[in-house]
A and B are shown apart, each in its own frame.
Chain A
Amino acid sequence: MLLIPCPWCGPRPEAEFVCAGEVLPPRPADPNAVGDAAWTDYLVMRRNVRGVHDERWWHVRGCGSWLTLRRDTATHRILANDSAPGGRE
């Protein structure tokens, strides 16, 4: 069970969170303005990094914060937590 540094609560057990996957590029403001390939790439492609990547977590059973975690997917080591405490991102 990972120990996840919540910006609001401090380090908390993984069981309280939902992992929402790697941080993707932002959703195009106007999806119609991007080409088909760019759109489907945005949807289905994942960097799926072996090593350090950024991912989103939702502290659903704790304080409700969303946070971005920098984690090494090969070791689970957590390198940083880029989220400001409180509020939405």
Chain B
Amino acid sequence: MSAAGPPMTARRYAVALRRLAPRARFEACGAPEDLIAALHAAGLPVPERHNSSIGSDGDVRIDWLGPRRFVISAPLEREEAVGGALEAVFAGFAAADVACVTDIVVTFEIAGPGAADVLAQGTPLDVGSASFAPASATGTELWGVGVVVERPIADPASFLVTVERSYAGYIEGWLDTAAGSGSDLKPGVMLACWRG
């Protein structure tokens, strides 16, 4: 997989859309107390509140997405290292599990003053800054598809949208349409969801 795709051009809204380079990604599932214990055991911090994310050393990020769900992500180069560490920790839990899901998703970045206007065309979630503060991360729906939306602490004016890869072409097309770039997608033909 390659680096981030080129920014798309937008017309109606001032936004920059980018497909981000993949990160190593792990889903952790289990009882809340097990998950928290496992994160501690792996030397990882737990976000302060539900539906938010926290960064850790080495650009590792922990998203707390549900009572039984954490997502841990890291630079792709560290996939094996982080994955190995997590596997080792979770092996000690009877019913808490982790799976490498790096390839499951594609993440898009929507940046610029029009970012919220573009997202609001697809998600019924209130992504306003008051209700969706920096570091927020949550599962929601975007154009009928389940996604995770985040407002990164590093750039609170932008959003990250993470979508299951099989839907990536559809979501990418929609983002493009919603930004008002006027490009015409041909139906049926996928938009290189495996590009890169």
Contacts and interface: CB of A to CB of B under 8 A. Distances in A.
Tell me, yes or no, whether A and B come into direct contact in the complex with CB atoms closer than 8 A.
yes
B65 A63 contact: yes
Nearest to B64: A63
Contact of A87 (B51, B67, B146): B67
Contact of A62 (B31, B66, B68, B144): B66
Given A61-B139, A62-B138, A86-B32, A12 B125 contact: yes
A1 B139 contact: no
Contact of B67 (A1, A15, A60, A65): A65
Interface in B28-80: 31-32, 50-51, 65-69
Contact of B141 (A15, A63, A87, A88): A15
A16 B141 contact: yes
Contacts of B65: 63-64
A87 B32 contact: yes
A20 interface: no
A9 interface: yes
B140 interface: yes
Nearest to B33: A87
A65 B125 contact: no
A87 B140 contact: no
Contacts of A16: 124-125, 139-141
Interface in A51-71: 59-65
B140 A64 contact: no
Nearest to A84: B67
A43 to B, nearest CB: 29
A8 interface: yes
Contact of A15 (B32, B68, B69, B124): B124
Contacts of B138: 9, 62-63
A60 B68 CA distance: 12
Given A16-B140, A86-B32, A61 B69 contact: no
Contacts of B69: 63-64
Contacts of A86: 32, 67
A87 B32 CA distance: 7
Given A8-B66, A12-B125, A13-B125, A62 B32 contact: no
Interface of A: 1, 8-9, 12-13, 15-16, 59-65, 85-88
Interface of B: 31-32, 50-51, 65-69, 124-125, 138-141, 144, 146-147
14 contacts: A8-B66, A9-B138, A13-B125, A13-B141, A61-B139, A61-B146, A62-B66, A62-B138, A63-B65, A63-B69, A64-B69, A65-B66, A87-B31, A88-B68
Given A8-B50, A64-B67, 9 more contacts: A13-B140, A15-B144, A61-B141, A61-B147, A63-B50, A63-B69, A63-B138, A64-B68, A87-B68
